[in-house]
Amino acid sequence: MIRYNLICQSDHEFEGWFSSSADYDAQAASGLLCCPICSTSKVEKAIMAPSVKTARKAEAQAVDAAKAMAAMAAKIREGISKTCENVGSNFAEEARAIHYGEKPERGIYGSVTPPETQALKEEGIAAHPLPDVFVPGADKKKLN
Ligand SMILES: [Zn+2]
């Protein structure tokens, strides 16, 4: 037995079971198929449902993945805000002071200008770009 999703000329959708696709063709050709709602025999196979379900499932999975990513980013932001100090635009200065032992070693984050980034790199001071989404408070920033 095979199942077809059928649709009548008035867009009523219903299911029909047939022993084969030839059985469906024969019933359709002889006008035996009719809509259970309006009784018309103007009935044809509907676009198969599984493709619709698959698209919806993919969409739901994409939403789940986006939620998981947002949750992960939130955890990273939380971790950074707990373990690192926000030194803002003084990052290069602070990183240099920590590197040369003038300040206690600790995790810091902040902003640097491209020339500062280059200078830190030349001095062998470890600094890694932090994606905006991982910066503590990024979720609270207004989108302008
Ligand atoms: Zn109908």
Whether 72 and 130 map to the same domain: the answer is yes
Identify the residue with better confidence: 68 or 131: 68
How many other C-beta atoms are found inside a 10 Å radius of the C-beta of residue 137? 9
State mean pLDDT over 19-31: 91
Q: What angle do CA 108, 114, 120 make, to 5 degrees?
A: 55
The pLDDT assigned to 38 comes to 97
Task: Please tell me the distance between residue 108's alpha carbon and the centre of ligand 1 in angstroms.
Answer: 68
Helix (H) / strand (E) element for 87: namely strand 84-88
- CA-wise closest residue to 42 among 66, 69, 10: 10
* Residue 140 in this model has a pLDDT that exceeds 80: no
Whether 42 and 99 map to the same domain: the answer is no
Is residue 25, in this structure, part of any structural domain at all?
yes
Is residue 100, in this structure, part of any structural domain at all?
yes
Whether 25 and 81 map to the same domain: the answer is no
Whether 74 and 110 map to the same domain: the answer is yes
Is residue 143, in this structure, part of any structural domain at all?
no
Question: What would the pLDDT profile of 69-127 be if each residue is shown by its tens digit?
Answer: 888 888 888 988 888 899 999 999 999 999 999 999 888 989 888 899 899 999 998 78
Task: Please tell me the distance between residue 10's alpha carbon and the centre of ligand 1 in angstroms.
Answer: 5
Report H helices in the chain.
Answer: 21-29, 49-83, 91-99, 114-122
Is residue 139, in this structure, part of any structural domain at all?
no
Task: Please tell me the distance between residue 13's alpha carbon and the centre of ligand 1 in angstroms.
Answer: 7
Task: Please tell me the distance between residue 11's alpha carbon and the centre of ligand 1 in angstroms.
Answer: 6
Residue 87 CA: distances (Å) to CA of 4, 48, 94, 139: 65, 58, 7, 19
Whether 70 and 42 map to the same domain: the answer is no
Is residue 61, in this structure, part of any structural domain at all?
no
Task: Please tell me the distance between residue 43's alpha carbon and the centre of ligand 1 in angstroms.
Answer: 8
Is residue 98, in this structure, part of any structural domain at all?
yes
Is residue 59, in this structure, part of any structural domain at all?
no
Whether 129 and 89 map to the same domain: the answer is yes
Please give the model's pTM, rounded to 2 decimal places: 0.50
Is residue 28, in this structure, part of any structural domain at all?
yes
Q: How far apart are CA 57 and CA 60, in angstroms?
A: 5
Question: What would the pLDDT profile of 46-75 be if each residue is shown by its tens digit?
Answer: 876 555 667 778 888 888 888 888 888 888
Task: Give the range of the structural domain holding residue 93, as residue numbers without chain letter.
Answer: 66-134
Whether 12 and 40 map to the same domain: the answer is yes
Task: Please tell me the distance between residue 20's alpha carbon and the centre of ligand 1 in angstroms.
Answer: 23
Whether 35 and 90 map to the same domain: the answer is no
18 has which bridge partners?
A: 2
The pLDDT assigned to 144 comes to 45
Task: Please tell me the distance between residue 9's alpha carbon and the centre of ligand 1 in angstroms.
Answer: 6
Task: Please tell me the distance between residue 15's alpha carbon and the centre of ligand 1 in angstroms.
Answer: 12
Count of domains forming the chain: 2
